[in-house]
Amino acid sequence: MGTTPKPLRILVHPDIAEWSEFAALAAQGHTITLWTPGSVLVTDYDLILGPRAWRMTEDLRPFLPLAIHAARKARYPKDATLEETGTDEKETRDA
């Protein structure tokens, strides 16, 4: 595998940092940085990857409702209780 002529600066959330794909990307010449709270300025990166990360550009603007829907689904799963989410079921449905 060769090096890329257009390397990216990629910020990776710790939950997925062990994926073998990141070692392969680093070998291609991309800069892979593990995110830790307060350690980085997110605007310094071309790509931010994590379980709840979404890329949002003007071209992807039509998908904003999908991003909101997916974030709510992850944050408030159907089987969640009041203690887990901090809201009641009615508030979740109405949001």
* pTM of the predicted model as reported, rounded to 2 decimal places: 0.67
- Comparing 83 with 20, the larger pLDDT belongs to 20
* pLDDT confidence of residue 26: 97
* pLDDT confidence of residue 30: 97
* pLDDT confidence of residue 78: 86
Q: Could you tell me the residue ranges of all domains in the chain?
A: 9-78
Q: What is the pLDDT of residues 26-65, one digit of tens each?
A: 999 999 999 988 877 878 899 989 888 888 889 999 999 9
State the Cα angle at 49 between 60 and 41, rounded to 5°: 95
- Per-residue exposure over 35-65, b if at least 16 CB sit within 10 Å of its own CB, e if not: beeeeeeeeebeebbeeeeeeeeeeeeeeee
* H or E element at residue 68: helix 64-75
